[in-house]
Amino acid sequence: MRVFLIAGEASGDKLGAALMAGLKSLTEVEFFGVGGPLMEAEGLQSRFPMDELSVMGIAEILPKYRHLMRRINETAEAVVQINPDVLITIDSPDFCLRVARRVKAKSQIRTVHYVAPTVWAWRSGRAAKMAKVIDHVLALFPFEPPYMEAAGMECDFVGHPVVAERIATQTEADAFRALHGIGDKPLLMVLPGSRQGEVSRLTPIFGRAVQAVLTARPDLRLVIPTTANVTELVQEQVKDWPVKPLILSPINQNKDAYLSEKAACFAAADVALAASGTVSLELAASDTPMVIAYDMSWLSRQIISRMLKVDTVTLVNLVSETRTVPEFIGKHCQPDAIAQAVLAVLSDPEQQQAAMQLTMARLGKGGEAPGLRAARAVLRGMQQG
């Protein structure tokens, strides 16, 4: 079996690696495509660095448009030439679906897209457009298949990968606190994102919010887990903060050691201030209460705010069908309001617990690993198709 996969950012790389591992456990398979280090560890030789595709937002994409179009054409030509049994595109729809469209125009190669578009949140017409080039969708959320099937695609809910990730024990959390001299002081974890653009935009806002929180809680300690590509930027952005945060970075660390330290950090934190995204699910998995905030470029904000169909973008709120997690998006992403919410969560951390536990249950916690479920769905779809 020959599989061509495309992932465009770190979250897609994680999904792709788990899917690849699942496929290898079920059948003989050869991989081609574009991915990151996790997919490469599972046997993919990426055709070019995945980081080239890790852009987000209309204003951010425009300067790289010509280069991305070249990569789209190159990738589609490679798919047609290799002629795999299935093309699996993973998230990054601006890139992936353009590749799929070109592939379908020249071949009958089966196409699978992993991660359903958020048509329940905005731009509902995307499902119908996607159905012209995608045969099968693998959905992360249980409420998504009806939207995809109504547009004419096969769709399987395969669970969210967060339910299979390692969660630190209380002993490990206590050891993390002891190692870094935190003791029983309140610990705020700050998560300004994994892309340089969002880190540059959010860290100054988060910094002013942190300063306001420290005025009320001077005993507060700070920790910032980062990714390798933003570590230096984060260090520069926080150098003038009134309390020096502990920065956790994978640079010069064994990968497994860093992931263990990060898991312990998540479990040790009393509250998190985080950029909007899947990190809210990681926090829920660790039972860490949170405040979510996000802003974008002025142009992206103006366009997206007019299209949004839901009153929350926080995944814990959406999956649990509650509005327990406070969020500050777009024009509401203001330091004083964020600080007040962080202080409120610190004073009543149990308020979010039921919603976080319900979210994990609905995403498949306790069941078969999502990567294996996704692999079974791909193979089943090929047999039926």
Neighbours of 18 (CB within 10 A): 24
Question: Who contacts 347 (Cβ-Cβ below 8 Å, separation ≥6)?
Answer: none
pLDDT computed for residue 57 by the predictor: 45
Tell me the C-alpha distance between 326 and 1, whole Å: 46
- DSSP character string of 289-348: -EEEEE---HHHHHHHHHH--SS---HHHHHHT---S-EEEGGG--HHHHHHHHHHHHH-
Contact 313, 121 (CB under 8 A): yes
Shortest CA distance to 274 belongs to which of 292, 251, 298?
292
pLDDT computed for residue 174 by the predictor: 97
Which residue is it, tokens 């969708």?
Answer: 137
Per-residue pLDDT tens listing for the chain (385 residues): 999 999 998 889 999 999 999 999 999 999 999 999 999 999 999 999 998 886 544 445 666 778 889 999 999 999 999 999 999 999 998 899 999 999 999 999 999 999 998 887 667 788 999 999 999 999 999 999 999 999 999 999 999 999 988 899 999 999 999 999 999 999 999 999 988 989 999 999 999 999 999 999 999 999 999 999 899 999 999 999 999 999 999 998 898 999 999 999 999 999 999 999 889 999 999 999 999 999 987 677 676 666 666 788 899 999 999 999 999 999 999 999 999 999 999 999 999 999 999 999 999 999 999 999 999 999 999 998 6
Instruction: Give ∠ CA 6-105-95 in degrees, rounded to 5.
Output: 30
Write the CA distances from 141 to 101, 146, 257, 311, integer angstroms.
25, 11, 30, 18
Tokens of 358: 């319900």
Write the CA distances from 351 to 57, 279, 296, 311, integer angstroms.
33, 19, 29, 20
Contact 133, 156 (CB under 8 A): no
pLDDT computed for residue 4 by the predictor: 98
pLDDT computed for residue 58 by the predictor: 45
pTM score: 0.82
Chain Cα centroid distance, residue 235: 22
Question: Who contacts 242 (Cβ-Cβ below 8 Å, separation ≥6)?
Answer: 210, 211, 214
